[in-house]
Amino acid sequence: MNPYLEILRPGNAIMAVIAIFLMAVISGKFTLEALMAGVVVFIVTGAGNSINDYFDHKIDAINKPERPIPSGRISLKTALIYSIFLFVMGIIIAFSINLLLGMIAFLSSVLMIFYARDLKTKCLVGNMSISFLTGLCFVFGGIAVGQIVVSIYLGFFAFLMTMAREIVKDMEDVEGDKIEGAATLPILRGMQTSSILAAAFMILASIGSPLLYFMGIFSVFYLPVLFLAIIIFLYSATSILKDQSIENAKNVSKRIKLGMAITFVAFAVGSPFLATLW
């Protein structure tokens, strides 16, 4: 893969864009504003991933040596310039949609930079920052299509799922983080405490997510797809509680990502717009 595309982590950026797409599906409004919002989210998320790799190049040399910077395919200076350019471009496009989305894009970019430079190594603060930004993608899309209240509900559950995965990822990266002197939850409180908190977020998301059907946000088609995601989350919670090894943390992190993807499919399948087409 081209290193300038790889450093954006396009898979993660596309996952963020899916939040915009889902809000368009839920509202039934496939507008130019929604498309532009998706472009902004992809660019700004990619910029955030790039600046994160810039600040994390020493840790990545241990944990992820194949990434563009530690592998030598992109220099540090180039990565920094590339990140700043993407942030500016994303913010300009957001302001061209409306003032509120422009301000959100600007403040999100600032938070991403502070996260990459300082917050990532802070116990739970970094996890909460990324989880907040993930949930904010739904709100960003909700503003673009005029479904703000619904987007806040979806953003909340995205926050819960992301918190679980972020904690598990810290468990996965604990060795490199120790060398860098990071103050992540697994380092300060241990792997067992981290597994308990990660499992708690997965269980809370699993118990709470069906409420979106009973609140009338989604149709009955939402439930069977969601049930599959709940099984994955509960299995992952049980697995991380039983085995806190780095290898298992890697596996659980992948399962949580799969569970999130299936949950997003449930959002789409259960949307009122698609329900009228069944």
Long-range contacts of 150-154 (CB under 8 A, 24+ apart): 150/23, 150/26, 150/217, 151/23, 153/212, 153/215, 153/217, 154/19, 154/22, 154/23, 154/212, 154/267
Domain boundaries, the chain: 3-275
Q: Which CATH class is domain 3-275?
A: mainly alpha
H helices within 56-124, ranges in order?
57-63, 76-97, 99-117
Q: Tell me the mean pLDDT in the region 67-92.
A: 93
Q: What is the pLDDT of residue 278?
A: 56
Mean pLDDT of all residues in the chain? 92
CA angle 69–172–50, rounded 5-degree value: 25
Tens of pLDDT, residue by residue over 108-162, are 999 999 999 888 778 889 899 999 999 999 999 999 999 999 999 999 999 999 9
Measured CA to CA, the distance from residue 94 to residue 114 in angstroms comes to: 20
For 200, residues 6+ apart whose C-beta sits below 8 A from its C-beta are none
For 236, residues 6+ apart whose C-beta sits below 8 A from its C-beta are 164, 202, 252, 255, 256, 259
Instruction: Please state, as a whole number, how many other Cβ atoms lie within 10 Å of the Cβ of residue 87.
Output: 24
Residue 187 has pLDDT above 90, yes or no: yes
Percent of all residues in the chain with a pLDDT value above 90, rounded to a whole number: 77
Confidence of residue 240 (pLDDT cuts 50, 70, 90): very high
**pTM across the whole model:** 0.90
For 171, residues 6+ apart whose C-beta sits below 8 A from its C-beta are 186, 191, 194, 195, 198, 240, 244, 246, 249
224, burial (CB in 10 Å: exposed 0-12, middle 13-18, buried 19+): exposed
Measured CA to CA, the distance from residue 168 to residue 56 in angstroms comes to: 18
For 5, 54, 184, 191, the CA distances from 73, given in Å and listed in that order, are 12, 13, 29, 34
Tokens of 80: 């920094």
Give Cα 212 distance to the centre of its chain: 20
For 57, 75, 93, 195, the CA distances from 35, given in Å and listed in that order, are 33, 32, 11, 38
